[in-house]
Amino acid sequence: NGEFLSNKIRKFPDGFQFGASTSAYQIEGGWYEDGKGLSIWDIATHTDPSQIKDKSTGDVAADSYHLYKRDVEIAKELGLDFYRFSVSWPRILPKGFSEQINQAGIDYYNNLIDELLKNNIKPFLTMYHWDLPYELQKLGGWVNPYIIDWFVDYAKVLYDNFGDRVKLWTTINEPKQICYEGYGSTLKAPMLNVTGVAEYICAKNVLLAHAKAYHLYDEHYRKIQNGTIGISISCTWFEPASDTVDDHQAAIDARQFDWGQYAHPIFSKAGDFPLELKRNIALKSAEQGYPRSRLPELSASEICLIRGSSDFFGVNSYTTKLTYRDASLEGMYAVPSYMDDMAAVIISNPAWPQAQSTWLQEVPWGFHKILKEIMKLYDNPPVYITENGWSTSGGLLDEDRIRYYRNYLNVLLDAIEEGCDVRKFTAWTLIDNFEWKNGYTEKFGLYEVDFSSEKHNRTPRKSAYIYKEIIRTRTLDPTYEPEKFSV
Ligand code: PNW
């Protein structure tokens, strides 16, 4: 499979920056400490543990609420330019609203940010990585349009408290996983499972919440705080399974449903939801007897508010799928549903290298196609890779993770040479963590965490030494072997 045609050492452009990423619920623990409110993940893991593969919770996770100094030390060991972490909304605003600010929560993130800056590592703050305050979920969460205001109120608290030192922001991590997985299925909290309706209402609200938080920064904070703010969207490459026109259209539809749904309104010249999305959902809704499309409309002023509301395109990208069209779709998907609206059949190719996570296969050329497609569709926006990574079942000798990173970085360099404006790369993830419904059964960390001991010791994997050398030399050397691991 190796994508390397030669063992040539390749150099990253000047100014290219490297980081690693985590998220609050996945690492912090401290789930009920110092005044933190409950999130939808606290509720999901506690009300029905059988929903999580190993029946675990994020109550303690990697204990970063107490061990954040060690996390920063690790970031320092790796030589990271920046560290991307998320803030737990209910740790700052226990009830979700900004009438009551939890000072202990503010202190925690102040300490983390100050510790990073002390070590010369730029804090890259994600405002929302899925741990919605439960009090807001009681009101409908992301399907209640008032959440747009609640999110902007929360963003203001973050700008006011951290914006003097944080210069890199993402508003929202992965709208599709929030909306489709959380509201259209049971894959993520709140497991609402109202597909065909809820994920589209959510999409509109997420886009408007993001855009309003962006404009608040742009108009009231940027002048003084001088930061950069954008959104992170998960992008899978969908490749036509055959050369037929139908399969090509199926792949386009799948991409437009998966990420165009969120990217097109923000990054395209025209704005609004993509044509394929509007057309498919309107047609199906009419056929099904709905009085109007299940996809909510964006008004002219909403389109305008959303369009252009991101300084960069944050790309979270891991894998590729094959896509084909099956005209009948007979009994394949529920009606109505997101999958039925997309009307594409999605499969994987068993020949591609497989990670521990069932959905994750190594397909570097798919990553390359995503970068080229974003350049083409959205007029070459600045791209930050805000997540990319590989899972194993554990162990320090992670040759497959090393191969994955090298191959993905290699095609990233190709894309840059071909004109793509990619400026940052972020590994998912710094340390092993709570992998949502898969609990602790999948390890994405550059550092292993010993979850069996109260100390939660962190140990570098072989990939950590490789990543460190890439960052130190600003080059990709496919033959480099770290001393510690050579036999
Ligand atoms: C990321 N896909 O989401 C999440 O942001 C992390 O919290 C999580 O730990 C990580 O994945 C690993 O699972 C993904 O479409 C979103 O292939 C989409 C995809 C993969 C991961």
- Average the pLDDT over 244-258 and give the result: 98
The full DSSP string for 416-459 is HHTT--EEEEEEE-SB----GGGTTSSB--SEEE-TTSTT--EE
The region, left, alpha or beta by phi > 0 then psi within -120 to 50, assigned to residue 390 is: beta
Residue 419 predicted with pLDDT over 90: yes
Q: pLDDT > 70: what percent of the chain?
A: 98
pLDDT at 327: 83
- Looking from the CA of residue 359, the nearest atom of ligand 1 is 17
Q: Which residue among 188, 428, 433 has the greatest number of ligand 1 atoms within 8 angstroms of its CB, and so is best to mutate? A: 428
Spatial CB neighbours of 18, under 8 Å, sequence gap ≥ 6: 79, 80, 81, 82, 424, 425, 426, 427, 467, 470, 471
Ligand 1 site residues, Cβ closer than 6 angstroms: 23, 173-174, 177, 234, 236, 316, 318-319, 359, 387, 428, 435, 444
> What distance in angstroms lies between residue 205's CA and the mean position of ligand 1's atoms?
21
3-state SS, residue 199? helix
Q: Average per-residue pLDDT in the chain?
A: 97
* pLDDT tens readout for residues 454-480: 999 999 999 999 999 999 999 999 999
Residue 422 predicted with pLDDT over 80: yes
> What distance in angstroms lies between residue 44's CA and the mean position of ligand 1's atoms?
18
> What distance in angstroms lies between residue 255's CA and the mean position of ligand 1's atoms?
16
* Spatial distance between the Cα atoms of 23 and 423, rounded to a whole number of angstroms: 21
- Looking from the CA of residue 428, the nearest atom of ligand 1 is 10
> What distance in angstroms lies between residue 429's CA and the mean position of ligand 1's atoms?
11
3-state SS, residue 129? coil
> What distance in angstroms lies between residue 359's CA and the mean position of ligand 1's atoms?
9
Instruction: Assign 330 a pLDDT band (cuts: 50, 70, 90).
Output: confident
How does strand 458-460 pair with strand 447-449? Answer: antiparallel
Given the structure tokens 């998320």, which residue do they identify?
86
DSSP conformation class of 23: -
Residue 4 predicted with pLDDT over 80: no
**Of residues 2 and 416, which shows the higher confidence score?**
416
pLDDT at 329: 79
Q: Which residue among 318, 370, 404 has the greatest number of ligand 1 atoms within 8 angstroms of its CB, and so is best to mutate? A: 318
Residue 440 predicted with pLDDT over 90: yes
Regarding an ipTM greater than 0.90, the answer is yes
Q: Residue 29 is encoded by which pair of tokens?
A: 């623990």
Q: Which residue among 174, 360, 437 has the greatest number of ligand 1 atoms within 8 angstroms of its CB, and so is best to mutate? A: 174
Residue 487 predicted with pLDDT over 70: no
Q: Residue 357 is encoded by which pair of tokens?
A: 């996570």
Given the structure tokens 């742009």, which residue do they identify?
218
Q: Are 99 and 155 in contact (CB under 8 A)?
A: no
Please list, residue by residue across 209-239, b when 16 or more beta carbons sit within 10 angstroms of its beta carbon and e when fewer do.
Answer: bbbbbbebbeeebbeebebbbbbbbbbbbbb
pLDDT at 328: 84
> What distance in angstroms lies between residue 173's CA and the mean position of ligand 1's atoms?
10
Catalytic residue among 387, 435, 442, 448: 387
- Average the pLDDT over 235-253 and give the result: 98
Q: Residue 304 is encoded by which pair of tokens?
A: 């305008």
- Average the pLDDT over 432-449 and give the result: 98
* pLDDT tens readout for residues 106-125: 999 999 999 999 999 999 99
Instruction: Assign 5 a pLDDT band (cuts: 50, 70, 90).
Output: low
Q: How many CA atoms lie within 13 A of 196 on its CB side?
A: 16
Instruction: Assign 72 a pLDDT band (cuts: 50, 70, 90).
Output: very high
Q: pLDDT > 90: what percent of the chain?
A: 96
**Distances from the Cα of 201 to the Cαs of 10, 172, 204, 262, in angstroms?**
45, 16, 5, 12
Question: Is 387 annotated in the active site?
Answer: yes
- Average the pLDDT over 213-219 and give the result: 99
SS3 content of the chain, % helix, strand, coil (to 5): 45, 15, 40
Which stretch of 322-336, 354-368, 408-422 has the lowest confidence by average pLDDT?
322-336
Q: Tell me how far the alpha carbon of residue 401 is from its chain's centroid.
A: 19
Question: Is 297 annotated in the active site?
Answer: no
pLDDT at 272: 98
C-alpha R_g of the chain: 21
Q: Are 318 and 386 in contact (CB under 8 A)?
A: no
pLDDT at 1: 43
* pLDDT tens readout for residues 146-180: 999 999 999 999 999 999 999 999 999 999 999 99
**Distances from the Cα of 454 to the Cαs of 89, 451, 457, 461, in angstroms?**
26, 7, 8, 20
Catalytic residue among 3, 28, 115, 174: 174
**Distances from the Cα of 370 to the Cαs of 269, 293, 360, 382, 408, in angstroms?**
19, 29, 16, 14, 12
From atom 16 of ligand 1, which residue's Cα is the shortest distance away? 234
